[in-house]
Amino acid sequence: MTSDPAFTEVGDRIFVLRHPVFDVSVTLVPGRTAALLVDTLSTAGQAAALADAVRRITTLPLVLVNTHHHFDHCFGNAVLARAAEAGKASRPIWAHEAAAALLRDTPERVRREAYDEALAVDSELAAEVAATAILAPDHTVHQESTLDLGDRAVLLRHHGRGHTAGDLVVAVPDADVLLAGDLLEESGPPDFTDAYPLEWPDTVDALLGTASSGTVIVPGHGAPLGVERARIQQADLAALAWAIRDGHADGQPAEAVAQRAAFGAGPSLVAVRRGYAELSGDA
């Protein structure tokens, strides 16, 4: 499944593309000497179309960032990094160390999970996912790193675990923009499949602690958010975390706790079960 995506400017030299498959947000940040591309989509075909869209804006050399290890954010790495057959990239790819380790050490598990998720949407997409080469990031962040694009600095920060163990936030201070990855969502509920629901609200709180009242926040999926909208989502995540703790202490069924959560019974049930497992020492 491919398309002809295009970028929209949401801040000073900050361009966001919303891909129709999963409504993934990809962000391009050109500087004077290099351009940062944050996330690379789901398949080689999507990545090739993304490369064309990038070149309509800039011909600067690219630096890639993966906000986390899920396939819709990183399976385009090999195409966009111009990977040789030996598996080495000619362009740097950055990610948090936990995300890089998953893609490097367990690629077939990551691919299997990606295939199953894609198959639930479309068999053609699943076939493309199965045929796409996985290229792990070769530059890692532990807590914070700074990238120099020539005339602007970009900060890569890991505020803690949340959507996954390796969520990376990209801050562009000169434009007052934060790229939150899937720590924040706009077009659907959070995905708790690999999440740490008891830690997620604190991670988002730390992210928002770096924002001003006018900061533009680009979520992993959907349209850009203002800070107040993001704080509402953080409050809902915090309420869910406390409901999980209270429900576990009271011996409530996970289904009963999930029914009362803000994100809907289905996604919330995944969160409650993961939280219960952690509190029981089974995670």
Tens-digit pLDDT profile for the chain (283 aa)? 444 678 999 999 999 999 999 999 999 999 999 999 999 999 999 999 999 999 999 999 999 999 999 999 999 999 999 865 455 668 999 999 999 999 999 999 999 999 999 999 999 999 999 999 999 999 999 999 999 999 999 999 999 999 999 999 999 999 999 999 999 999 999 999 999 999 999 999 999 999 999 999 999 999 999 999 999 999 999 999 999 999 999 999 999 999 999 999 999 999 999 999 999 998 6
Establish if 277 belongs to a structural domain. no
Pair type for strands 169-172 and 177-181: antiparallel
Establish if 248 belongs to a structural domain. no
Establish if 22 belongs to a structural domain. yes
- Backbone φ, ψ for residue 64 (5° rounding): -100, 145
Nearest to 35 by CA among 172, 136, 142: 172
pTM of the model: 0.95
The parent domain of residue 117 ranges over 8-227
Q: CATH number, domain at 73?
A: 3.60.15.10
Establish if 1 belongs to a structural domain. no
Establish if 191 belongs to a structural domain. yes
Residue whose tokens read 């053609």? 124
Establish if 239 belongs to a structural domain. no
Q: What is the domain count for the chain?
A: 1
Pair type for strands 93-96 and 139-141: parallel
Q: Count how many Cα atoms sit within 13 Å of the Cα of residue 201 in the half-sphere of its side chain.
A: 18
Establish if 245 belongs to a structural domain. no
Q: Which amino acid is at 144?
A: E
